A and B are shown apart, each in its own frame.
Chain A
Amino acid sequence: MSKPNIQLREPSMVMKLSRLGSFHQSKLSFLRSFIREFKSWNYKRDLFDLNKDGYGTAVYSFEKKGRNYSLVCFAQHIKPEERSDRVIATKWDAAFVLYDGTPSKKDINRLRKNVPKQEVGRVTYKELTLSRANKSVRAFNHVVNSLSEGTQPDKELLKKVGYLYRTTAVYGSGKFGLADRFRIKDRKEIYGPFRLEMMLVYLVRQFTFDQVNHIAKCKNSKKATRLEESIARNLGIGNSTGLGMAPFIVNHPTLLHNWIYCREKALKQIRSIEKVNKDDFNIFKNCLNKSKMNIETWLTDSQYQTNKIDSLKLDLTKFFKYLENLNYEENDYLWNLIYLWTEKNLKEECVEYIVSMMMEPYDSIIDPLINNMSSEEEKYFNIPADRKVYDLKKIIEKNYKSIIEIDFKDKKSTSNFWFISKNKEEPRVANRHEERGAELEQPLAIARDVKKLYEKLIKNNQKETVANFLLNNDDLRHVVRRAFIVEKFPYSEIQDNTIGASLVPIDMLRLKLSFFGAVKFDPRSDKWLRINMYQGAPLPHEMKSSNDSWVYNSLN
């Protein structure tokens, strides 16, 4: 067979929201790369000072070669009516902060006064990430009661919930006084994106297990038993995520590019393998089979997601039939053959699922890409204003082809606007034609503004410099900057209208969460969803001997 011409997939195809909203966790995901990086670190529970009801302070740490990261946990009593996953909440069952080093008593006292307050508290540059979480009261109480009676909890119930606690926000990078990224960016162990956020969530998960064991023991010291490790391993940490994540991917174009580019580069390299090794093919099939079980336990009340899961199940059945008739030995460029078949015969949800699975056998391809998934965004901030209007016009025609075809005179194309709420400083989306506040719109209507820019550029003197053009067009400066970024980073821009009537904001959330490594997407509306992180992950004392396929171990 002659060598096929395998190229990176076009941004115009990959960067559509329907495609991005079909992404699944993969070997590139940050949860998994965190465990790969930190498996050689020494884990320790440094402090566990909880009362009989499980309220108090605990500290967990990872240490290697004198460097230490410590999670400080504060658990408190809250009334049932105070418990809310929404961002408007002011109290949580537990609050957490990741400290850079080993906190002194003085630090812990300072943090105790601030961390439970979250957004209205203050932390310092010695702290790296901040979070809070609420119990899944149903699962938590059931586990405590069962353990205190000396029995293990009902696995069916736990399977439905999947975790004991849900985080409702995880903050990093300078929020509320936390360390700015530049202070720590040169540390090799955190080259991968969101690594410290991933560490925080991982250690929180262990805290939840220790807390239920502790309360059960205090409740009935004679009969109580400990949560079996096999059950604990299949519990993750839930997360309720709202619109806050959506602007993030618009506001960090080079970072978004690097994530997608690494995924596309991996796919291209895998499709370009001429002879596929039998063992590698079996790893693929094995992961696919195991992950099918995860899909079966993927429960949601959302019709939108149910349709997606049904389509995935149906397409996977088709795919398994196709695989049965495929002889891997007879075909060169097998992955390419499989990929082309999926694109032709399956929907985006399943295509992207198979793409994730195809990465599983290839540590050698994936590992070098992980460190390229961060970005030095500052480097690309300056506008090369000495370039000509003609250049800018050409960049837009090449990189925003479908965007400049959108008719923004149609009211439906401008239905929504993004704003920051005054009470919580969080992003929100509202109907422009029905709600007030559009005059304070955030600069997230990129498609509309790019079109506006384009319409001005085509009427402008093409030989004029961009600097001259900007003299009279301040209102377009933000998209001029983006256009020059997309020229260098073609996967940096969503190729859809983020203010149109058909916008499904959770597609934007799912894109980001898939890179985190989240599973079990459970939309609770079109604007927020619940997910599960670290389900099936090794427990801290198992990390050193763990392998990377843990994500497929859950619920077996």
Chain B
Amino acid sequence: MKELLSDIELWRARGQRVVLARVVTLAGSGPRDPGAAMAINEASEVVGSVSGGCVEGAVVSEALAVLESGQPRLCTFGYSDDEAFAVGLTCGGTIQIFLEPLE
């Protein structure tokens, strides 16, 4: 997250609302370890990443919902047979991402 701080501080200084998304658990195969972080502002600008690009789009949607509600949330992105069309990691792992507003 260190590398995101200058952008987050710039956005906050501009008065933009920001959501911080962090990988908190990883089960099985996955590209990024716990602590990998991404920040999203209310204009849908993005810095950082939480996977190899597989779930970033879905994380942006969740982040905008967090801005709407003002409530943090824990999201799970995985891949199983009965949700083959759901958003997941192509590598077959499951990650949990915690999203929280920094307003």
Q: Do A and B come from one complex?
A: no
Seen from chain B, the residues whose Cβ lies within 8 Å of a Cβ on chain A are none
